[in-house]
Amino acid sequence: MSAKIPAIVLGGTGYVAGELLRLLAAHPRLELKAIASDSQPGESVSSAFPHLAATLGELAFCSQDDAAGLAASLPRSAVLAAAPHGVSAALIDVLLTRAETAGTKPTVVDISADYRFADTEAYARVYRHPHGAPVRQTQFTCAVPEHLAGVTTPHVAHPGCFSTTTLLAVVPLLALGLIEPQIFVSAVTGSTGAGRKPTSGTHHPQRHSDMYSYNGLTHRHAPEIAALAEAATGVAVDIAFVPHSGPFARGIHATVQATLRRPMTTADVIAGIRQFYAGCRFVRVLDTPPRVKDVATSNYAHLSAVADGRTVAVMSVLDNLVKGAAGGGVQWMNRLLGFDEAAGLVAPAPGWT
């Protein structure tokens, strides 16, 4: 086997960064070399992620500047950016600029929202602040891995967790011409989707044994879903999206509904979606409703559908931190570097989480 490629994680203290560290620890072709955090440089990484202490040993966080310097010193490296949106683009720009000056070529996968839109004006309209590095925009492609066979850009952005869950259900329906392009989405996410910093929405007494919607029909992921669905299928769509907070830590369950263009049975729809994802290692199409516990902590997504002749509903579940973030990011990195797409990602869900 070839020598491992050094890996660098930017924005190293959040839940997604923790999942990246867990996945990299078992990756056969990537070797973790640095974890950057300007809030905790010099601090032990295991103090932020005690469940990874046996794997991380004495590894300490470095500064973002040190991470950029390391990328500039390595002929080849894999950079996985897990910094917040509005921050990630500038960090990546600094790192790539230093690497270009030094003549090195890091490969970047951004897991933030900064490179999910095709142009910086669209990003600014949704996120209400200027893009952090518009000069880099054309160097990134954003898509769910299963929806794009190859990329022409040197770097990739992975869609958000809500977007990935929804797009896995929506894209086959549109690509196969099965539905009218008005789509209704109701999705429930676990508390880890709100990030590591405690809020009223993630505080246990508030969230335990409860479920509630938020940002109904105004959530910022709706335009992202619409743009990526059109990019994948060529069909312009109208997305009505209502997200919910669920009383569990990990996972997303999305129900996608639309009007069929012709009468179809449940078996017809399931067969079409199953054929669309034939050969996709991490997407499984079931005959029965999918369950979050069956995919939590894994890089697998489960789908199923029902149809009554006029309306179709597709149910889609995945782990928001893995397939919807860190795992999808590693999946893209595997492809960009020419590895087996499933390298380091084939562990099954443990169940009973």
CB within 8 Å of 220: residues ≥ 6 apart: 113, 126, 127
Domain of residue 52 covers 5-142
CATH of the domain at 17: 3.40.50.720
The reply to whether 122 and 185 lie within a common domain is no
The reply to whether 77 and 168 lie within a common domain is no
What is the SS3 assignment for 127?
helix
The reply to whether 243 and 98 lie within a common domain is no
Active-site residue identified among 62, 142, 161, 280: 161
The total number of residues shown for the chain amounts to: 353
Q: What is the pLDDT along the chain (353 residues), one digit of tens a residue?
A: 568 999 999 998 999 999 999 999 999 999 999 999 988 889 999 999 999 999 998 999 999 999 999 999 999 999 999 999 999 999 999 999 999 999 999 999 999 999 999 999 999 999 999 999 999 999 999 999 999 999 999 999 999 999 999 999 999 999 999 999 999 999 999 999 888 887 877 778 888 899 999 999 999 999 999 999 999 999 999 999 999 999 999 999 999 999 999 999 999 999 999 999 999 999 999 999 999 999 999 999 999 999 999 999 999 999 999 999 999 999 999 999 999 999 999 999 998 88
**Within a domain: 327:** no
**Within a domain: 26:** yes
The reply to whether 257 and 311 lie within a common domain is yes
The reply to whether 185 and 290 lie within a common domain is yes
**Within a domain: 72:** yes
**Within a domain: 137:** yes
The reply to whether 70 and 201 lie within a common domain is no
Specify whether 280 is catalytic: no
Domain end, chosen from 81, 108, 142, is at: 142
**Within a domain: 337:** no
The reply to whether 128 and 257 lie within a common domain is no
The reply to whether 119 and 226 lie within a common domain is no
Other beta carbons within 10 angstroms of residue 3's beta carbon come to: 8
CA 221 to mean position of chain CA atoms: 12
**Within a domain: 343:** no
The reply to whether 131 and 190 lie within a common domain is no
The reply to whether 177 and 315 lie within a common domain is yes
**Within a domain: 114:** yes
CA atoms within 13 A on the CB side of 225: 33
- Tally of domains within the chain: 2
CATH of the domain at 255: 3.30.360.10
Distance between CA atoms of residues 259 and 239, nearest Å: 13
The reply to whether 80 and 22 lie within a common domain is yes
Query: What tokens appear for 187 in the block?
Result: 């999705």
**Within a domain: 206:** yes
The reply to whether 256 and 309 lie within a common domain is yes
